[in-house]
Chains A and B, each alone.
Chain A
Amino acid sequence: MPSTLAAVFLAGASKLVLVLHALCAIALVGSVTHNAVLAVMHMRRRYTRLALARTYVRIIAVLFPLTLLVGALAYPSYRVHVRPWLDANVSLMSALFEVKEHWIGLGFGALIAYVPLALRVDPRKPGSEVRLVQLLALAIAAAVWMALLSGLVAVAHRSI
């Protein structure tokens, strides 16, 4: 391994970290998708599986920061080893990967407000707060799906 890469944080374990990141992301995408489906059902006034919806919120509250953290551990290797190659050869992919990072960052901010609201708000009661919780569930799901797809495409081009 070249000395530059050896100096990068967790460079020796980067593939293991990437696999862990992918596993967390797969579990997260499943939970945000189920959560978004339930949010749409609640928008359409079909108030079923309210307890399950709160369980998904709790799972997302754990998995989202965990996935972000593991991804952040792999990021230095990506920045040194993959990003320059993408910039030189597939610049659109590099830009999309940056968008993914930003969407996840903004999704994390949304999550901080979303989790306490979603655990407290009763979708059967009227109020603009209820609609916000449902729309944030969709926005978070969109960010996670975008991240998964762009991450997969980036890895298909070049991996750490």
Chain B
Amino acid sequence: MEEPKKQDALERDIAWQHPRAVQLLLGLIAFCSTYLGMQLSKSPLLYYLPKTRQWTLSVQAGEVAMSYYGLLVAALAGFLCGYALGWLPPIRRILSRPTYRRGLVLIAFLSVVGAMGAVLVAELLA
């Protein structure tokens, strides 16, 4: 009788409380990965030119350009992709297994803190 009780407690301990937790966490991981990847790789982005009030995909040398808006838009698109991936039943089923749940939570948190640390180091060293 003791064993099933212990099993129930374990199941409660590792069950998702939010029905869309997998989608949200995959979205978060994708947001941070996209943001960091685009920032560090200096990938082509949507740029805003404040002096001429124009949007462009390429910037000429010496031009004052802002990449922040484009970076946020790209990261939001990344979030949506991650969310959509987590919405797929096979992915959701796999990531709801006890072994993967804690790993997903850990990766989600490390992606936020890791990205913050990486941009701090990159900007201060630049």
Mark A residues whose CB is within 8 Å of B: 4, 7-9, 72, 75-77, 79-80, 84, 92, 95-96, 98-99, 101-103, 105-106, 108-110, 112-113, 116-117, 120-122, 125-132, 135-136, 139, 142-143
Contact = CB atoms under 8 A, between A and B. Distances in A.
Interface of B: 12-18, 20-21, 24-25, 27-28, 31-32, 35, 39, 48, 50-53, 64, 66, 68-69, 71-72, 75-76, 79, 101-102, 105-106, 108-109, 112-113, 115-116, 119-120, 123-124, 126
Contact of A109 (B35, B48, B68, B101): B35
Contact of A9 (B53, B75, B108): B53
Contact of A95 (B35, B72, B116, B123): B123
A113 B78 CA distance: 13
| 9 closest cross-chain pairs (CB), A and B | A109-B31, A76-B50, A113-B28, A102-B119, A128-B105, A113-B24, A120-B18, A126-B13, A128-B102
State the majority secondary structure of interface residues on A.
helix
Contacts of A110: 28, 32, 112
A70 B101 CA distance: 37
B84 to A, nearest CB: 14
* Most A C-beta atoms less than 10 A away, residue of B31, B39, B53: B31
A102 B25 contact: no
Given A128-B105, A132-B105, A79 B119 contact: no
13 contacts: A75-B66, A80-B51, A98-B123, A102-B35, A105-B35, A105-B71, A105-B72, A106-B31, A109-B31, A120-B17, A121-B17, A128-B102, A139-B112
Nearest to A5: B51
Contacts of B79: 109, 112
